[in-house]
Structure 1
């Protein structure tokens, strides 16, 4: 019976996919997740990164000092002024896998771009892709549609300076309902500038440049008036480090390898964490707890490794054990650098050393004060976890160790893991019944959470709901154990729902700011209206979409106004948390001072806040629609 069901297995069943078809069939293997542009690691930004990486490689080799980037709707144009792709190989370089210059370690010893894959992936996943090379007074151009060559010019004379121009439009067949966020692109470009001091990037007529590398990065990412001591900036061959401490909880680390932002860390980030602890202990001649030394640290580290090994194609986690073949381990290299340079700096700057010691000892006191209640709270949480009605867990988690078999596919699923935080039995029930049990979990709140502004971390353990939430996320000891890539606040779009959102964001910003800073927190958008006739149903997220749906369906369609998540049936809810999910990222803007932000919005009601509310208050009439 089974044999009949699956049919015969013959030569006709064996297929060889063309390079572009393989990329389009399995895009996650090449660019990670797809997404719609609401997260900084969505595929459309990875496509841009792959194009820019090639420009950076030229700059690193000493060719071309600037890059020009233009966003035109959904199309991006990138022009560098390097040597230009050799004209005779122009088509091959962007359309033949395993074709490139980066296999010769002498030419690109510490290359940023992927080995012969990056631009091919961009080409295959773009509805339109154009590349033009300018080289020694000659030029050549080629155009593609979804990886298929549709036009190729012959070599012509040109007065254009040397370099390469790439234009591409991400394919809407692959990236559904996508849109570029300017702030994500700008942050991406700033990182390139911090890692390549002196490089000038022009984006939509805005100029980005850094003179001081990682020092500028930390000044951009932190509020310097909150730092406990001036930023320490150290540079050496193949390594650069900037660090300080502030008053936040947790660790705020930015790590880079060969210009690649390794959002999930790796051997270099772990090496830095361990080396910093060792140097501090040796300098102060005291065996401080590692967590006391690292709590509230803000740091950036960049290293350059020969032929780095990453744990996925998108290179977000370094797996390399050694700096180069036969050379020191990554951890040993960082440890020796800090042991010399940071130790020397602290000896020369007694006031900084004293401020660091005070910060460590403050963390030590706070940890000891928490010890008693933490033990009781954790025992309570363990008992609750045995029959935790608040958490409906999923099968795969962000901190899993991927299996050897189907490793890449498993990593793709890990990057989809989501925890929905919702309020009320009806809303929780709808999400629970419609979720994807492999990757989506649900945490149910009981009423409104406590306003945690101004409270110490003691409240995280004293408040049962907060304690269970931090255990569900597994972030008590830091971000390394985070169980879900996306934390989605799913509340009603009314006054109470908005208040719950603010209270949850206050909790995260107060005690776990890395979750927001590393773009893990989102707001779930759910439709306000359902417009339908007998042939079609359209879900609308605002008044404008509703009017467009009414115009499309005509003849007085039935209109339903959803007032709460509990009114949406599980069958319908499944459509809003699947492939077409709409998420609004919770972002901190440059210059935002977390404590001042929380004090203004979540502290005591002040005249300034009353004035802000009055000036920005909008009154909208909630019209009752007649249903047919």
Structure 2
């Protein structure tokens, strides 16, 4: 049946509604199209890091063109300064180069080959989204300096004599009306800079007085990131426009670090997929055995970097490569990587028989385990498939992280914000389910405390119904490339049992899906411990200090509620804690964390040793 709209209810739509946005105003109106989400700097993919990356990409492009061997980066109190020693922006067009969209030198492949930034957007977006943006170019004994505020030019010097070493200086302050209460984390910046150094051996990056450089490229990257013991020395292969490094460990799953023209493609893309296929095919052909590709890749830790003319990325933030060919060379990315591995990896394995033997043993061990649990795996998959449509444990959302990106800014933001809350019991999941955003927030309910999976084989993932259904809900059986939610949020009560469940879930991820944590997808939800209120004001407090401060604000006779569990918080209140002000702690994993030692001590069978540790470190209430 058709619905008719009353014409008197229609909003007027005429010539005056057609708006042309001047200059960089479109970037400020739709920042998500250019930098992804805004954020406050608490997450590695927040916009303030994208701003820094956009400026750095230009510096790296200069280095890759053979201009300048160092980059100076200073970040202090939210102010950013980046100085390269490249060719310097041409002085006559300097202002246009940083302020007019679709203006840049990278459309001309003669001036910039195999560059990251090709669409003339990056630095303009930084300019538009900064309260202050200053650019100064030093070139051929001359200089020019210009200052902008929120993308609008406020001062521009004439070209003047200056014998300062050539290059470009960019200074910017992110606009705190867009990036509210933002704060740069040095750890995140240092990781970004180290990745640039790994991919550009010979480049020195000076960051707040610290020197960052790499002599061994991707081998250094893997050594820095591997948290499990490698089974054999890292295989490092390098050719024109390609560099590859990989090894295997006893950890489950696959772990990849992929790059295009120095850009870290955190979501992979055509080059990463091509490497996964080619490395399995090459190894299979080398041994001339009928091997399953899953057995070959199980436990692999790899880095792959390629250089492509005119790369096509799936979004402005360049986290996933969409190019299928090497542009003007006319060779597909798949064939280029396949041919390289077929020659270089095959030669390497023939020359290094000890490594070849260890690799073969690892593949055979993976095969034995796979065959041993084949029956269980088949039954578990069938069970997961049957309950998929009516999974009582999963209240799904509408938008998922593995959905295709579109030109719709709002849809892309929703894809990025997709998350799943893992809760304990029906009470907690009920509160979250009633107050969640059904577009982007899913809920998975645990029955109780999950099994301690430390030291167990992957057979347990398929035998244990909850683990199997959680794996299916996240869509990570074949790896994290098709993960359905960007954030996997552990939402348990803030008590001893809740902490235990949290630990058991993190153990599960570390044991079987460590890449989920390494890629920054796992979080802990912080919920308030207290509510302090009077008739006029209500404060939610996440610590004892916040409680005392709130009591002082409220004054005499405040009503104080102690939340013992998530189920005690009403849905009307809960929506505040999982909305725009949601507090999340990211679970991180670094080499120095000594994961196996930690898991062995806290989750192993050394019960008496742990008891003694608890007794020796017990803090009683009187001591607090």
Instruction: Mark yes or no: TM-score above 0.5.
Output: yes
Aligned-partner Cα distance in 1 for 2:118–2:496? 48
Corresponding residue SS for 1:351: helix
Give the conservation status (yes or no) of the 8 Å contact 1:281–1:288.
yes
Q: 1:622 to 1:489 in 2, by over 3 A?
A: farther
The correspondence of residues 170-319 of structure 1 with structure 2, limited to 5 A, is 170-223=174-227, 226-319=229-322
Give the conservation status (yes or no) of the 8 Å contact 1:176–1:580.
no
1:467 aligns with: 468
Does residue 345 of structure 2 align to residue 342 of structure 1?
Answer: yes
Does residue 328 of structure 2 align to residue 325 of structure 1?
Answer: yes
Aligned-partner Cα distance in 2 for 1:509–1:609? 20
Once the two structures are overlaid, the 10-residue window that deviates more, 381-390 or 508-517, is 381-390
Aligned-partner Cα distance in 2 for 1:21–1:621? 59
Does residue 390 of structure 2 align to residue 390 of structure 1?
Answer: no
Aligned-partner Cα distance in 1 for 2:600–2:486? 28
**Offset, 1:96:** 0.9
Give the conservation status (yes or no) of the 8 Å contact 2:227–2:590.
no
Q: CA RMSD in A?
A: 2.1
**Offset, 1:215:** 0.9
The correspondence of residues 479-518 of structure 1 with structure 2, limited to 5 A, is 479-518=480-519
Q: 1:93 aligns with which of 79, 94, 97?
A: 97
**Offset, 1:43:** 1.2
Aligned-partner Cα distance in 2 for 1:187–1:104? 31
**Offset, 1:66:** 1.1
**Offset, 1:304:** 0.2
Give the conservation status (yes or no) of the 8 Å contact 2:518–2:589.
yes
Once the two structures are overlaid, the 10-residue window that deviates more, 30-39 or 267-276, is 30-39
1:61 aligns with: 65
Once the two structures are overlaid, the 10-residue window that deviates more, 157-166 or 279-288, is 157-166
User: Deviation per CA, 1:546-581, whole angstroms, max 9, x where unpaired?
Assistant: 444444454554443323222222112111212222
Once the two structures are overlaid, the 10-residue window that deviates more, 188-197 or 603-612, is 603-612
**Offset, 1:297:** 0.6
Corresponding residue SS for 1:212: coil
Give the conservation status (yes or no) of the 8 Å contact 1:130–1:141.
yes
1:415 aligns with: 416
1:626 aligns with: none
Aligned-partner Cα distance in 1 for 2:404–2:435? 27
2:584 aligns with: 583
Give the conservation status (yes or no) of the 8 Å contact 2:530–2:547.
yes
Q: 1:294 to 1:17 in 2, by over 3 A?
A: same
Q: 1:303 to 1:432 in 2, by over 3 A?
A: same
Once the two structures are overlaid, the 10-residue window that deviates more, 604-613 or 565-574, is 604-613
Once the two structures are overlaid, the 10-residue window that deviates more, 109-118 or 329-338, is 109-118
Give the conservation status (yes or no) of the 8 Å contact 1:32–1:412.
yes
**Offset, 1:312:** 1.0
Corresponding residue SS for 1:70: strand
1:374 aligns with: 377
**Offset, 1:611:** 6.3
Give the conservation status (yes or no) of the 8 Å contact 1:222–1:591.
no
**Offset, 1:408:** 5.0
Q: 2:75 aligns with which of 71, 86, 92?
A: 71
- In structure 2, stretches of 5+ residues that fail to align are none
Query: TM-score under structure 1 normalisation?
Result: 0.94
Does residue 86 of structure 2 align to residue 82 of structure 1?
Answer: yes
**Offset, 1:499:** 1.0
1:108 aligns with: 112
Query: TM-score under structure 2 normalisation?
Result: 0.95
Give the conservation status (yes or no) of the 8 Å contact 1:127–1:172.
yes
**Offset, 1:116:** 1.2
User: Deviation per CA, 1:471-530, whole angstroms, max 9, x where unpaired?
Assistant: 111111222321111100011222111111110000000011110111110111122233
Q: 1:137 to 1:10 in 2, by over 3 A?
A: same
**Offset, 1:336:** 0.5
**Offset, 1:254:** 0.7
**Offset, 1:381:** 2.3
**Offset, 1:423:** 0.8
Q: 1:435 to 1:176 in 2, by over 3 A?
A: farther
User: Deviation per CA, 1:301-343, whole angstroms, max 9, x where unpaired?
Assistant: 0000000011111111111111122521000000000011000
Q: 1:510 to 1:20 in 2, by over 3 A?
A: same
Corresponding residue SS for 1:588: coil
Give the conservation status (yes or no) of the 8 Å contact 1:532–1:553.
yes
Does residue 126 of structure 2 align to residue 122 of structure 1?
Answer: yes
Corresponding residue SS for 1:591: helix
Give the conservation status (yes or no) of the 8 Å contact 2:116–2:311.
no
- In structure 1, stretches of 5+ residues that fail to align are 624-628
2:446 aligns with: 445
2:53 aligns with: 49
Corresponding residue SS for 1:325: helix
Aligned-partner Cα distance in 2 for 1:377–1:604? 28
User: Deviation per CA, 1:244-286, whole angstroms, max 9, x where unpaired?
Assistant: 1100111011110000111111110111111111111211111
Corresponding residue SS for 1:132: strand
**Offset, 1:440:** 0.5
Once the two structures are overlaid, the 10-residue window that deviates more, 301-310 or 76-85, is 76-85
Q: 1:35 to 1:578 in 2, by over 3 A?
A: same
How many aligned positions are there?
620
Q: 1:114 to 1:515 in 2, by over 3 A?
A: same
Once the two structures are overlaid, the 10-residue window that deviates more, 71-80 or 591-600, is 591-600
1:365 aligns with: 368
